[in-house]
Chain A
């Protein structure tokens, strides 16, 4: 055996967890992931935490989570887009989620969405340019008994009509008081 000093096999350095931006929230997320022992099945909890800290999940953040849990980026993106709760774009100051589940749809949720789209001049899934209002849809929020249901910020409203929905969000669109 030669006595030439052999350097250890060049293993690929693990991606550093610390985020170069220095944003403290990344540190908090890192701590959270470590507390979950970086388990793969903690992905959903970690995404919840990330959204709680940042408001939405951008590509950079999803990659940070993928590195942190040592998961393929495609898995993280797939899970983040499967659940309506996770937002990949910044949300407006106020959000309105129209339930498009079967019961709500049958009871006219589509017309409610169309009325809101017209009132806000955006399409479902978008946020107004002033960042004040986001219009979203969801597949069944589990409130079929009060169909069609709409969630205004965090409050669920029953039996909505195009007129009642537009009335409810008017203040958010007119820059008026809440």
Chain B
């Protein structure tokens, strides 16, 4: 699905000086695409550093430590520090839901929770509010998650989330392992009528 949330999938297309996000660019006949180059890696690292600087990502005390896609990206792209000043915003942690928690400090606004909630579960509980640096993931009318009338407590958003922003209550440092396979299972079953266990 075309998303265009983070630009970490930037690629080079031969004959064009512009870097384009792979996720929103249509392939064309004869297109020559470079997915890794010194320049791309440099830009990706820059974007990644901005993601880290934007909120409060503290791997050492995170439920997803060791199982985090953001942390893994830092390793893969050779990010050994962040060269921008951290913004240290003051953000909420919503623990009102019976089963799950949402820590906005760890959210990268990728929107996977929103998309899985709308298009896989169909509940449309989650969405983005605001814009730019003020963007937040909300439930219903920006009410505490636990008071949402639409949430089915299915937990798909938790497993779609790449970081420790969405987690199961009761997990502590490094214990939250996401199972994206479950989401793939459901979607494959629905779209291809294949139940691949």
Contacts and interface: CB of A to CB of B under 8 A. Distances in A.
A81 interface: yes
Interface residues of A, number: 14
B130 interface: yes
Q: By CB atoms of chain A within 10 A, which of B125, B127, B128 has the most?
A: B127
A169 interface: no
B41 interface: no
Q: What bracket does the count of chain B residues touching chain A fall in?
A: 10 to 19
Interface stretch (B11-19, B51-59, B82-90, B138-146): B138-146
26 contacts: A59-B143, A63-B141, A66-B141, A72-B124, A72-B125, A72-B127, A72-B140, A73-B140, A73-B150, A74-B125, A74-B140, A74-B141, A74-B150, A76-B141, A77-B129, A77-B141, A78-B127, A78-B128, A78-B129, A78-B138, A81-B130, A82-B128, A82-B129, A82-B130, A82-B131, A139-B132
Q: In terms of DSSP, what is the predominant structure of the interface of chain B?
A: loop
Nearest to B114: A74
A109 to B, nearest CB: 15
Interface in B117-134: 118, 123-132
Nearest to B150: A72
A75 B124 contact: yes
A83 B32 CA distance: 39
A74 B130 contact: no
A63 B143 CA distance: 12
Given A81-B131, A82-B130, A139-B131, 5 more contacts: A66-B141, A72-B125, A74-B139, A74-B140, A78-B138
Contacts of A74: 124-127, 138-141, 150
A14 B100 CA distance: 30
A62 B131 contact: no
Interface string B102-126: 0000000000000000100001111
